[in-house]
Amino acid sequence: MSTETGQVHPISLYLKIWGLLFILSACSYAVDYFDFQGYLRWFLIITFMWLKAGLIVSIFMHMAWERMALVYAILLPPMFLMVLVGMMAIEGGYTTLTRILFFGPGSAPIVH
């Protein structure tokens, strides 16, 4: 399917993915429209987001047909961003707690 010069795939495949992306976007919009809350909302939003991202990268951007050397060179580095996200989530939680502790209602006045 892939040649030295480029990626050629049937248009029908692109149209199917286009349709799927439409459906997935409609689903994620429905999550908001029907006002799902809590963990169900998070789960649905994140699931639809990764499904859409996966379809765009693998089919539209042809990652599914590229050689592994290129796929790993491009897709592996962003995985490490999860470490940053994890650390910043912990940091953010800590900041909230200290803000509540020092500036929230009932917090002790600061004595110099």
Partner 1 sequence: MAQEELSPDGTAVALRDGWDGVVADWSADKQAFSVPWGKAMMWIFLLSDTFIFSCFLTGYMTVRISTTEPWPIPSEVFALNLFGQDIPLILIAIMTFILISSSGTMAMAVNFGYARERKKVAILMVITALFGASFVGMQVFEWSKLIEEGVRPWSNPMGAAQFGSSFFMITGFHGLHVSVGVIYLLTVAFKVNRGDYEERGYEIVEITGLYWHFVDLVWVFIFALFYLW
Q: Does residue number 38 form part of the binding site for partner 1 (CB under 8 A)?
A: no
User: How many DSSP H helices and E strands does the chain contain?
Assistant: 4, 0
Q: Does residue number 37 form part of the binding site for partner 1 (CB under 8 A)?
A: no
Six-digit token pair at 56?
A: 């765009």
Smaller CB separation from partner 1, 4 or 112: 4
The pattern of x and - marking residues 40 through 59 that bind partner 1 according to CB under 8 A reads -xx--xx-xx--xx--xx-x
Quick check: 68 and 2 in contact, CB under 8 A? no
Quick check: 60 and 14 in contact, CB under 8 A? yes
Rounded to a whole number of angstroms, the minimum distance from the CB of residue 81 to partner 1 is 5
CB proximity list for 25: less than 8 A, separation 6 or greater? 48, 52
Rounded distance between C-alpha atoms, residue 82 and residue 10, angstroms: 35
Rounded to a whole number of angstroms, the minimum distance from the CB of residue 93 to partner 1 is 6
- Of 68, 108, 110, 111, the residue at the interface with partner 1 (CB under 8 A) is 68
User: Hey, how many other C-beta atoms are within 10 angstroms of the C-beta on 48?
Assistant: 19
Rounded to a whole number of angstroms, the minimum distance from the CB of residue 111 to partner 1 is 22
Smaller CB separation from partner 1, 34 or 112: 34
Q: Does residue number 106 form part of the binding site for partner 1 (CB under 8 A)?
A: no
